[in-house]
Amino acid sequence: MTGPLLEIDHVSRSFGGRGLLSRRRVLAVDDISLCLDSARAEVLAVVGESGSGKSTLARLILNLLSPSQGQIRFRGLDLRRIRDTRTRQEFMKAVQPVFQNPFEAFNPMKRIDRYLMATAARVAGVADDAARQRAAEKALNDVGLSLAEIRGRFPHELSGGQLQRIAIARALIPGPSLLVADEPVSMIDASLRASIVNLLRDLRDRLAVSVIYITHDLATAYYVSDRILIMQRGRVVESGVAREVLDNPQHPYSRLLKQSVLSPDVPANPGARLRDDPSTTEVSHA
């Protein structure tokens, strides 16, 4: 298929301000436009501090929220036009989420494989049991696991890294063309983090799945993404090819973000790099 996969057209989203008791409106996403091409899968990083509207943007793309202004189109279909179950089902097949905390994404009382089967049945619409098993097995293989390893196990029996892989496998079952991953590695242990980030790259290259990678970690964004969007207080302050933007940031906020990344090289004098002015580093939210 050609043409744009996802178009976000001057989208804003505000919260509050309508009720009697509300004091002010918060503009969480402010006039954002972007476009993903369906011909070429890519990893698009969305970075920014907490409260910059990254997660609201993710929820808008997943159609969990609708924009206050503007339009989001997925393969030309305006998300607000999704009314009937069939269209919604088609949309959910194509756009899947991966959440931040894999321990919270799974019900602790429920066996992991049941999630995969349920997704195969309800979202992917696979009718018989054997085909569901095959779909689950294939998705697990794509993330480097197998059904035999996880069958009958509960979330607490698996590590965070494994659970996050399973969450990604679950999202892959319906054969999506877009994954929206909201901080997928921030709760993952250091020794397992590299494998998840590598997996995102791998999905793009091998399965041609585009990934919207939401993070506050500039270093992994640089490592994994093709394009980058830097957000501050709901607005995109800078965007472009990830490496160009991060090698040579233009906007003062992008520069501040880049300066705040702690380099893993040890300075000869401990603490030396921290000292360059603590008073200016607090960005107020007022």
Partner 1 sequence: MSTALAPAPAQAQPHAVLTVSGLRAYYRTSLFGINREVRAVDDISLEVAANEIYGIAGESSSGKSTLIRTIAAATKPPLEVISGSVQFSFGDRDVNILRARPRELDAMRWRNLSYIMQGSMNVLNPVRRVQQTFVDFAFRHLGQTMPEFLRLVRDHLARLHLEPDVLEAFPHQLSGGMRQRVTIALATICRPEFIIADEPTTALDVVVQKGVLAMIHAVQRELGSSIIFVTHDMAVHANLTDRLGIMYAGRLVEEGRTFDIFGAPRHPYTAHLIASLPRLGDTAPKPALPGTPPNLAEPPAGCRFHPRCPLAHARCRREVPEMEWVAPGHRVACFAATPERAA
Binding stretches for partner 1 (CB under 8 A): 49-50, 158-162, 189-195, 197-198, 216-220, 222-223, 243, 246-247, 256-268, 270-271, 273-276, 278-279, 281-285
**Nearer of residues 78 and 205 to partner 1, judged by Cβ:** 205
**Nearer of residues 87 and 260 to partner 1, judged by Cβ:** 260
Taking the complex as a whole, how short is the minimal distance between the CB of residue 20 and partner 1, in angstroms? 22
**How many residues are listed for the chain in this entry?**
286
**Nearer of residues 118 and 194 to partner 1, judged by Cβ:** 194
Taking the complex as a whole, how short is the minimal distance between the CB of residue 72 and partner 1, in angstroms? 27
Taking the complex as a whole, how short is the minimal distance between the CB of residue 249 and partner 1, in angstroms? 10
Taking the complex as a whole, how short is the minimal distance between the CB of residue 113 and partner 1, in angstroms? 18
**Nearer of residues 65 and 187 to partner 1, judged by Cβ:** 187
For residue 173, the one-letter residue type is I
**Nearer of residues 79 and 168 to partner 1, judged by Cβ:** 168
For residue 185, the one-letter residue type is V
Taking the complex as a whole, how short is the minimal distance between the CB of residue 93 and partner 1, in angstroms? 29
